[in-house]
Structure formats: C-alpha cells, structure tokens
Amino acid sequence: MNYLSSVEINENQSANKRCYDGHIEKFVFTNSLECYGIKLKSHQDSKINFQSQYSSAIYVCVNLSSNVSLQLSCEKSQITIPPFASLLVPFQEAENISFKCKSLVDYDFLVLKVYQSHLDEDHLKLLQNLQKENVFLNPFTSQKRLIPNLAICEMARKLKHLDYISSENKFMARGYINIIIGMKFKEILCEQSSISNHLSGYEIQQLEMITAQIKENPQEDYTINDLCKKSGLSVSKLQAGFKEKHGCTVTIHIRNVRLEKALTM
C-alpha cells in the first residue's frame, strides 16, 4: 500500500499526478474545525491516513459517491461506508483513521475533523455516553445506521462546493458543518429508517440526476409527471426523496433554485 498522507496536504487544494488523478482539499476554518474534500482516482492501491492526538477530535465521514463504497479503518474496526452514507468516529477511535483506495476507482467523500473545543458540555457528555454503550463502531449496530442519508449528503456537497475566499462564505461553511454534525447526532439517536432505506441505489442515482438537471436548467417548465418519466420514480418516491434531500416538495425546490439563480444574475 502507498500512503497518500505522505503527500503534503496544504490548505486549499493539493494534487499529485504521480500518485493520483483528482485532488484533496483541506480547509481550516478555526482552531477546532477542519474540512477535507477528497475526489480522486489512485494509480495503485493506496491509503489516506488521518491522525490526531488521543481523544482530541471526532471525525464525520460522508461518502458522496453514487456507486463506490468507502473502506475505513480505525483502531481495531474495519467499516464499509456505502454510497450516500456517513459515519461518526468518536474520540477514542479517532486517533488514527485511514481510508483504503483501490487502484483506478473513483472516490468522492468529505471528512470533517471536529476538535473537543468546538463542542459544548452537553455534546461531550452525549458522545461519552454513546461511546460507553459501544454505539458508534459496534459491528452489530453500525450497519443499521449506515443507510443512505440524502440530507447529509446534500449539505456535504454544499460545503465542498463553497468558495471559501470570502468571509461570509466561511461563516456559511461553519454553519454547514454544525448542521451536518447535528444531523448525524439526530440520525444516531433516532434510529429511524429514512426514505433512503426504501430507495434502491439506482433510484437514488436517478434522484441525484433530476436534482442536477433542475440546478443546471431551472428555467425549464418541469412537471411532476415529466420528472417521474425521466427518472423512472413513482410520484410518492420522487416527492419523499425530495422531502428528505431538500427538506421540501419538488415544486418548492424548483422555485427555490430559480430564486437562487435570479439573485446571482
């Protein structure tokens, strides 16, 4: 195995054509928040390593790929993160984590590193209690929680694609990070099946395709029936998927995208 972490990852974007195609983006927002956006294809089987001092930080890992699972190793645990799923790695297991990247496979994922100083006392107590109960990396329960969560993925994409140069966008980025952490806590505590659990991988990809098409061409006259025909989804699955992913109906999402585009013109 090669170790991509041996490649120097500077703030902003790093690339190394000798080892991989693509890039690793690192952004440090505060002394307690770091974000890594990774989209690459390794030339050979490799690993990406992350290290932190013992019990100093947690990691939230979001797999944004539509068809490639992510292999994560930490301490004695080996976890497979399916497409559109995410995992929270708590303090004691977060000292050394690594991601296995197979040769010539396209990977797309986000890693958030959140230090203790960013979390309040209630968050720390909750994390400690859940860790004592072996909730996070228990092989018998982790697979239940590793289901697609389109809302978390959508927020992670917004974070990855944000321009961090302006100060207002840096504030937005911190907000997105806090929302992702909050969503992950809610997912862990609720243990409820989301609509993603009732969508196949193909149906989730179709939902992503429709979302991208609306974003690229919001001016088109979309109807629910037309979108269902293009995606192959039923009306109920289309509406439920948009409700989870965007927090609103298809019609309201189209209106919001049009408003956002008008504001940028």
When pLDDT is cut at 50, 70 and 90, the band that residue 1 belongs to is very low
At 177, list the tokens: 């990070």
CA 35, chain centre distance (Å) = 11
As a whole number, mean pLDDT of residues 115-121 equals 88
Task: List pLDDT tens digits, range 126-178.
Answer: 888 777 766 676 655 555 568 888 889 999 998 988 877 777 888 889 999 99
Residue 176 makes CB contacts below 8 A (sequence gap 6+) with: 155, 156, 158, 159, 162
Percent of the chain scored above 90 by pLDDT?
A: 26
What is the pTM (predicted TM-score) of this model?
Answer: 0.72
227 pLDDT exceeds 60? yes
As a whole number, mean pLDDT of residues 53-78 equals 86
DSSP secondary structure of the chain:
-EEGGGS---BEEE--TTTEEEEEEEEEEETTEEEEEEEEEESSSEEEEEE--TTSEEEEEEE--SS--EEEEETTEEEEE-TT-EEEE-GGG-SEEEEEE-TT-EEEEEEEEEEGGGS-HHHHHHHHHHHHTT-SS-TTTHHHH-S--HHHHHHHHHHHT---SSHHHHHHHHHHHHHHHHHHHHHHHH-PPPGGGGS-HHHHHHHHHHHHHHHH-TTS---HHHHHHHHT--HHHHHHHHHHHHSS-HHHHHHHHHHHHHHH-
